[in-house]
Chain A
């Protein structure tokens, strides 16, 4: 198992060490080792999330392309009102036909899991004096001394030599992680998702889960994870929140409350400019320049598909 993950340990330790030495130019060679190591972990998160941005943009674009499909979707919902299975089937067929799929797949989450695990191992290596990748020798010794608000980056809540200060920092981080996850999910549910009639039960279930299950998950895993991993986790949660906040404000999913708000704002703006928006029968306004933009993008997609076919 270890040997398969060696390249990952190398990559993760290399990124951290590189950030550490880059930060050396800012903070000075021998100064504030703690800040440098903590920021290096945050740098790792930022790097990974930047790499994942194109995937996110792609998803947002296909969500926008849905506006054009809305009449079809309404038709399907009407036609198979009492048969949810048939309804979902037809919906998926429609997405496939138009080569657009608004759903994100599990990839963005699964892709981060090995990195998370590698970071866990690398940081544990610091605590156990085991070098991983390029984090060895003097660097390892320096990282062992590194602290985040007085808590050693490599110590966990449950290890015997952990002091009260460290425990307090860990508890604060666990609370922070729970809070960010909760706000992110709540914002998505209240503003970011299209209104569905049959999903009230699911929504309630979700809210319950977020309130009780996530803090428990964070608490149970949080006491076993090194402080550095918790910093990683907190930063990535904060990034998710910010990213979603931006999208809901600027690029909301068609049909969601946030989308309606944005449309209202735009309608008011257009009226101020003297141009009247055209409203369709189903209530969608066609003043959104993004709808027009998305059309040529949709046309390009079949050519992508034909390239794939040629490869085969």
Chain B
């Protein structure tokens, strides 16, 4: 399930997102955040990803926002570039 989600996001990042140009107000982007959140937290990560997408709106100022690791509470930096 988590793998399938990662594949969908990867497809989006490779084929769909470039066509719209960079547009995410956060770093890492919502899609990278979603992959990390789901691989770390599963279903709860899905909610986290949805909430991040809501937070990334025209009235937000964005910023740096990593998914925190379950165990160490350290930011997960994989996949971000």
Residues on A close to B: CB < 8 A? 55, 58-59, 84-85, 88-89, 91-93, 95-96, 99-101, 103-110, 185, 188-189, 193, 202, 205-206, 209-210, 213-214
Additional A-B contact list (17), CB under 8 Å, known A91-B27, A209-B15, A209-B19: A84-B81, A85-B81, A88-B28, A95-B62, A96-B61, A96-B62, A96-B64, A103-B22, A103-B23, A103-B62, A104-B58, A105-B57, A105-B58, A106-B24, A107-B58, A193-B21, A206-B18
By a CB distance below 8 angstroms, the chain A residues around B22 are 103
List residues of chain B with CB under 8 Å of any chain A CB.
15, 18-28, 30, 53, 56-58, 60-64, 77, 80-81
B58 is contacted by which of A59, A91, A96 (Cβ under 8 Å)?
A59
With A105-B23, A106-B30 as known contacts, state yes or no: A92 contacts B18, CB within 8 Å: no
In the bound complex, CA of A103 to CA of B77 (Å): 21
Cα(A59)–Cα(B20), bound, Å: 15
Q: Separation in Å of the B36 CB from the closest CB of chain A? A: 14
* In the complex with contacts A55-B58, A108-B58, A209-B18, A93-B25 CB distance below 8 A: no
Residues of B within 8 A of A92 (CB): 26-27, 62-64
A101 touches B18 (CB 8 A): no
Minimum Cβ distance to chain B for residue A215 (Å): 12
Contacts of A188 in B (CB 8 A): 21
Is the pair A103, B15 in contact by a Cβ cutoff of 8 Å? no
The answer to whether B77 touches A85 (Cβ under 8 A) is yes
Give the distance to chain A from B13, nearest Cβ to Cβ, in Å: 11
The reply to whether B19 and A99 form a contact with Cβ atoms under 8 Å apart is no
The answer to whether B61 touches A100, judged by C-beta atoms less than 8 angstroms apart, is: yes
Contact B61–A106 (Cβ < 8 Å)? no
Dominant SS among interface residues on chain B: loop
- Chain B residues in 8 Å Cβ range of A109: 20
With A89-B27, A92-B26: A101-B15 Cβ-Cβ less than 8 Å: no
A to B CB contacts below 8 Å, 13 in the list: A55-B58, A58-B58, A88-B27, A88-B80, A99-B61, A101-B62, A104-B23, A105-B56, A105-B58, A185-B19, A185-B21, A209-B18, A213-B15
Q: How far is the CA of A105 from the CA of B53 in the complex (A)?
A: 9
Residue of A nearest to B57 (CB): A107
- Determine the chain B residues whose CB is within 8 A of the CB of A100 once the complex forms: 61
- Count chain B CB atoms within 10 A of each CB in A58, A100, A106, A213 and give the residue with the most: A106
CB-CB under 8 A from B30, the residues of chain A are 106
Taking the closest CB of chain B, its distance from the CB of A73, in whole angstroms, is 14
Question: Judging by beta carbons under 8 Å apart, are A101 and B27 in contact?
Answer: no
Tell me whether A214 and B27 are in contact (CB under 8 A): no
Knowing A89-B64, A95-B62, A100-B61, the reply to whether A105 touches B77 (Cβ < 8 A) is no
Contact indicator A93/B23 (Cβ below 8 Å): no
Question: Which one of A84, A85, A105, A205 contacts B18 once the chains associate, using CB atoms below 8 Å?
Answer: A205
B19 CB to nearest chain A CB (Å)? 5
Q: Compute how far the CA of A188 lies from the CA of B15 in the bound complex, rounded to whole angstroms.
A: 18
Task: Report the bound CA distance from A101 to B26 in whole Å.
Answer: 9
A96/B63 contact (C-beta < 8 A), A85-B81, A105-B56 known: yes
Closest Cβ neighbor of A188 among chain B residues: B21
Q: Which residue of A lies closest to B55 (CB)?
A: A105
CB proximity of B8 to chain A, nearest CB, Å: 16
